[in-house]
Amino acid sequence: MSTPTIQKALLLDSKFGNFVVQDSSVPKPGTGELLVKVKSAALNPVDWMIQKYGIIFEEYPAILGVDGAGEIVEIGDDVSQWKIGDRVFFQGIFENKGGSFQQYIVASAYHAARIPERFSFDDVASIPLGLATAYIGLYNKKPYGLEFESPVLRSSQGKYSGTPLVVFGGGSSVGQYALQLANASGFSPIITTASEKHTDYLKSLGATHVIDRHISSSALSSEILKITDKPITAIYDAISTKETQQDAHTILAPGGTIALVCPPALEASDGKTFISLFAARNLPQNSALLENMYTALTQWVEEGIIKPNRIEVLPNGLAGITDGLKRLENKEISGLKLIAHP
């Protein structure tokens, strides 16, 4: 069956504009690219931020969405590792051809992974951007990440036994993946802040200690001192509000580094450093690092080293994404990923 030339897509009609479902041309894959029929697309906070703050995109209408899973329907030049019909999950880009809020997307052949048989499209669509953000933050070279050694190689797994790591916001999508990667790397203890209701689940992902995110700054410092007397030299802040940044800065040892998913909201001191993360796969500092991650990702998912986020599937296909983004903006979502069926 031939690929159609026209599809449905969710378009952001203008800067600060509205989302509308309209007809759009089906993009064509180029060299090193795949055309994928999108079965599942995940929502991320960056999607509502693009609409509200007018960031990232310069040309409109724009097709958003950077997480997806589906079936390959066409293959570009110089691609030998994939065939038509393969089930894949992938990280999109902030360009119309690479946005997952449409029925057909152009994906990179090198930033995609095969879906293990026992996992659904919905399961794995929750993985790419959240995992990439956690991975870049932990393993990219400074000033793009904390510069730990990646656990892609078996010989590197467990390397950081005895080195403490603190993850602010372990219940968030990115936080969950940061905990799992930290566990694969052997960090201990792995301390995270989160709502108490997520305690058991986050411990199943690798956290050794879960601290209630509502406690005071002074109480947080005291709790960490009860857990370890080793200096905290690295923190992953998966929330990155001004308050979490201040708390992270307080407990960080002099000379340490904090990885942030948002821009710094205060000045660092005592030789401490803030690193602001941006996980776009096509940035020069990210591309090869993430390509390496994707070579291991199918096996990680099969072995349970990486577990997908818990999910909620939205009704009404592409049209249901708008309400889902409002729920994300209003902080009504905790501990799970919203999924749409284009």
Of all helices (H) and strands (E), which one includes residue 153?
none
CB 104 within 8 A of CB 28: no
Distance (Å, rounded) from C-alpha 187 to C-alpha 179?
9
Q: Rounded CA gap, 163 and 185, in Å? A: 10
For the chain, percent helix, then strand, then coil, each to nearest 5?
30, 25, 45
State the SS3 of 75-101: ECCCCCCCCCCCEEEEECCCCHHHCCC
* Backbone angles phi and psi of 128, in degrees to 5: -55, -60
pTM value is 0.95
In 3D space, the residue among 41, 37, 29 whose CA is nearest the CA of residue 7 turns out to be 37
Distance in angstroms (rounded) separating the CA atoms of residues 82 and 36: 11
What per-residue confidence (pLDDT) applies to 1?
A: 59
- Expressed in angstroms, the distance from the first to the final Cα of the chain is 19
CATH 3.40.50.720 domain residues, the chain: 131-276
pLDDT at 6: 97
* Predicted pLDDT of residue 115: 98
Q: What's the per-residue H, E or C state across 9-22?
A: EEEECCCCCCEEEE
Q: Are 306 and 179 in contact (CB under 8 A)?
A: no
Neighbours of 55 (CB within 10 A): 11
CA nearest neighbour of 234 among 260, 204, 210: 260
Give φ, ψ of 176 to 5 degrees: -60, -40
Per CATH, which fold does 131-276 belong to? Rossmann fold (3.40.50)
The pLDDT value given to residue 131: 98
Give the separation between CA 111 and CA 96, rounded to whole angstroms.
17
Provide the strand spans (E) within the chain.
6-12, 19-25, 33-42, 62-63, 67-75, 87-91, 104-108, 112-114, 165-168, 190-194, 209-212, 234-237, 257-260, 273-276, 311-313, 337-340
DSSP code at position 186: T
| Residue 65: partners with Cβ closer than 8 Å, 6 or more residues away | 10, 41, 42, 43, 47, 92, 99, 100, 101, 102, 321
Q: What is the pLDDT of residue 58?
A: 94
| Domain spanning 6-127+308-340, CATH class | alpha beta
Candidates 34, 38, 35, 23; CA nearest to 101 is 38
pLDDT at position 342: 96
State the Cα angle at 205 between 320 and 186, rounded to 5°: 135
Give start-end residues of each CATH 3.90.180.10 domain in the chain.
Answer: 6-127+308-340
pLDDT tens for the chain, 342 residues long, are: 589 999 999 999 999 999 999 999 999 999 999 999 999 999 999 999 999 999 999 999 999 999 999 999 999 999 999 999 999 999 999 999 999 999 999 999 999 999 999 999 999 999 999 999 999 999 999 999 999 999 998 888 999 999 999 999 999 999 999 999 999 999 999 999 999 999 999 999 999 999 999 999 999 999 999 999 999 999 999 999 999 999 999 999 999 999 999 999 999 999 999 999 999 999 999 999 999 999 999 999 999 999 999 999 999 999 999 999 999 999 999 889 999 999
Three-class SS of residue 63?
strand
CA–CA gap between residue 333 and residue 315 (Å, rounded):
16
AA letter at 5: T
CB 15 within 8 A of CB 60: yes
Check if the beta carbon of residue 256 is closer than 8 Å to that of residue 188: no
> For residue 44, what are its two tokens?
């991320």
Long-range contacts of 118-122 (CB under 8 A, 24+ apart): 119/301, 119/308, 120/40, 121/39, 121/40, 121/69, 121/70, 121/87, 121/89, 122/40, 122/69, 122/311, 122/313, 122/339
